[in-house]
Amino acid sequence: MHDAVAPQSPLETPLAKAAAVPLPGADELADRFPLEANPRPASPERRAELLRGLHFGTVFTDHMAHARWSRSEGWQQHGIVPFAELSLSPAAAVLHYGQEVFEGIKAYRHADGSIWTFRPRYNAARLNASAARLAMPALPEEDFVASLVDLVRTEAAWVPSGEGESLYLRPFAFASEAFLGVQSANVIDYYVIASPTGAYFPNGLKPISIWVSQDYHRAGRGGTGFAKTGGNYAASLLPQQQAAERGCDQVCFLDDVTQSNLEELGGMNLMVVYADGSVSTPKLTGTILEGSTRSAILRLLADEGRAVREETIPLVTLLEGINSGAVTEVFACGTAAVVVPLGRLAGEGFDVEITGSEASRHIYDQLTSIQYGKAEDPYGWMYRLA
Ligand SMILES: *Cc1c(COP(=O)(O)O)cnc(C)c1O
């Protein structure tokens, strides 16, 4: 029997398919990372104080998940261990050659106190896709999810319950072998750290301004653009600085071949909303990071009856559309901020305003309602951690 062969739709990428494979329940995955308790955790008073007035990525919980891989023995030493400084040889390969990959995913507290995460297999599969590009070993997807289960169960008291708040989880893996030879390392350490975070925009969605970089690219063909690796971010810091000097919040990159097509921001994907209700996003060419938020939003938009397209979006076409009114809205999306409308798009020789943000608000509400358990989850995206 043959399945109908459909061209790959934006909704059916390998990551989206991996994400749809059912997972065992968290009770079944629990205890793969046994707890070595922190002898000096933050007191409940100190924790309460830290949970007030949260900023992104500044406060960390008492424990972290860890496992170590060696070429001869594979993954071992799985555990939840006290959050502490790492002891690393100054010769550790990551410090010299940047062999590193990471993820970003959140744990959300629902009204009944339960704690959930969003499509963890998507991130598990993406970590492994990134790792493969960096010549690093895969972590079994269930172990990735198990590390989140055990860490979040240990740190449940750190999962905030305020509007738009969450526990941001940062899984990462890096070459810890002490060797200056240029080769794929024989020792890799995997960690997950956790950071309670507040709403990105506590006073409602605020449009951001974007500088389109015509001097630099974050990724090139055959490079590491599709992988979530620190080096891509390192390459984005100087253009980000230029954007800030131009009075802009974030930088947008163009493709490196034609230097004229939209790709994405330093850490968020882009979507363009048209007056006819359709939405388009730059197609995945290998230089764009395939966001889990992007994937979910494309699904929500399509199921709401909108035409969604993955396509080449030339900057000039976008600017024409903004000026003619054919483009009503542009927004960025990613796990940390969820959805952010663009209010201004500037670059060498242009500076335009974008006024719409209705679709951004609607999609933000739809997605966060599912994530916080306020709306039904017909997609099975949510996974109960605790
Ligand atoms: C992480 C990331 C995104 C957003 O991915 P999400 O899975 O939606 O958080 C987009 N672009 C880049 C470059 C990223 O690193």
Rounded Cα distance, 118 and 106, in Å: 7
**CA 264–ligand 1 middle distance (angstroms):** 9
Pocket around ligand 1 at a 6 A CB cut-off? 104, 228, 264, 267-269, 289, 291-294, 334-335
Q: What is the pLDDT of residue 3?
A: 41
Half-sphere exposure of 325 (CA within 13 A, CB side): 0
Per-residue pLDDT tens for 211-257?
999 989 999 999 999 999 999 999 999 999 999 999 999 999 999 99
Mutate to test the pocket of ligand 1, among 117, 255, 298, 335 (most ligand atoms within 8 A of CB): 335
Q: What is the pLDDT of residue 8?
A: 52
- Residue 7 pLDDT > 80: no
Residue 164 φ/ψ, nearest 5 degrees: 75, 5
**CA 290–ligand 1 middle distance (angstroms):** 7
Rounded Cα distance, 294 and 317, in Å: 21
Average pLDDT over residues 101-121: 98
Residue 171 φ/ψ, nearest 5 degrees: -75, 140
Residues in the chain: 386
- Residue 67 pLDDT > 70: yes
Q: Which residue has 């629990």 as its token pair? A: 30
| pLDDT band, residue 4 (cuts 50/70/90) | very low
- Name the residue at shortest CA distance from atom 12 of ligand 1: 267
- Residue 371 pLDDT > 80: yes
Which atom of ligand 1 approaches the CA of 292 most closely?
Answer: 7
Which atom of ligand 1 approaches the CA of 294 most closely?
Answer: 8
**CA 42–ligand 1 middle distance (angstroms):** 31
Residue 148 φ/ψ, nearest 5 degrees: -70, -40
Which atom of ligand 1 approaches the CA of 228 most closely?
Answer: 15
User: In this predicted structure, which of 37-46, 49-58, 358-367 has the lowest mean pLDDT?
Assistant: 49-58
- Residue 151 pLDDT > 50: yes
Is the model's pTM score more than 0.85? yes
Cβ-count burial of 216 within 10 angstroms (0-12 exposed, 13-18 middle, 19+ buried)? middle
Rounded Cα distance, 385 and 30, in Å: 9
% the chain with pLDDT above 90:
93
**CA 111–ligand 1 middle distance (angstroms):** 28
**CA 313–ligand 1 middle distance (angstroms):** 19
